[in-house]
Structure 1
Amino acid sequence: MNQNKIAAVELEAKDLPAHCPNPAMPLWSSHPRVFLDFGHDGTAKCQYCGTEYRLKAGTVLAHH
């Protein structure tokens, strides 16, 4: 069993709306772009590759 856990990608308000794959990911690992829906806990997970995203502490989401 692999016990190495990759740290979540931390985002700020300026990074929203967020999508995966993100600009830092290499082209060979790309998949269709999906926009991330952050839960009340400030986390989101890509449905394609499983990359976890987290909002930086204190980030406030704007509501429409």
Structure 2
Amino acid sequence: LKVKLLDRFYIPTRYPNALPGSLPEGLPNAQDAKDTLTTAEKKIIARAKQLVQEVTNDD
């Protein structure tokens, strides 16, 4: 799952006492960062569209 890639960035920032690179995949690299940004953008846009749809259907 693409969303699972987000965990590689979320977990270390959410739990700063966790050891760096303690995830099974190790530390994220530059390509992981690019892929994560792309995934996050797609998820945010999809959710925003969903919210707009809900608001416009309530009228």
- TM-score, normalised to structure 1, is 0.24
- More strand, by proportion: 1
Q: Which has the larger radius of gyration?
A: 2
